Amino acid sequence: MKLNLSTKRALKLGAAIGLLNAIIASIYIANRPIGASTSYPYITSLLFDLQNSVYFKSIDVPGSWEMWFIFGGFVGSLCISLWTKKFKITFVPKLWGQYKGPSSIKRLFWSFAGGFILILGARIADGCASGHILSGNMEMAVSSFVFALCVGLSYLAFTNYFYKRG
């Protein structure tokens, strides 16, 4: 069987994510699954001196390393966009403008609302999509498979609804 370039790339990325998960979950490194959402309450607790709160004490290992995980994602994305010469700052992406108009205020509102709902859902679910989908599926957790299926179906349903012309 001959593999095309995108299949080879997907296999390499999958192996890299698996290796990252094994390293992060190691008892010698972080002893936690891959995730990012704990960093937000961690930052808030540091900013507002809430380290003694009930929630903060309920976190086994606070999310300080997760801030570096998020920062690394940002820096990596920035480097790739600069390297491929695709970097540009835009307040209203082309697809958004086609369907929702040119208002940057409207775009900012919906971006904030979507981000708020996303992080609220992550906290209610006791973990973010990266934690549930990446780490949970690698650990063969049935709840993570169900979560991934629900995320995919929700994404399809919502985008079909949200990007309707009209």
pLDDT in tens, 4-48: 767 888 888 888 888 877 887 776 776 777 777 777 777 777 788
Q: Closest by alpha carbon to 73, among 154, 2, 4, 130? A: 130
pLDDT at 3: 64
What's the pLDDT score for residue 100? 86
Nearest to residue 66, comparing CAs of 131, 140, 136? 131
Residues of the chain with pLDDT under 50: none
- Give the per-residue pLDDT at 125: 73
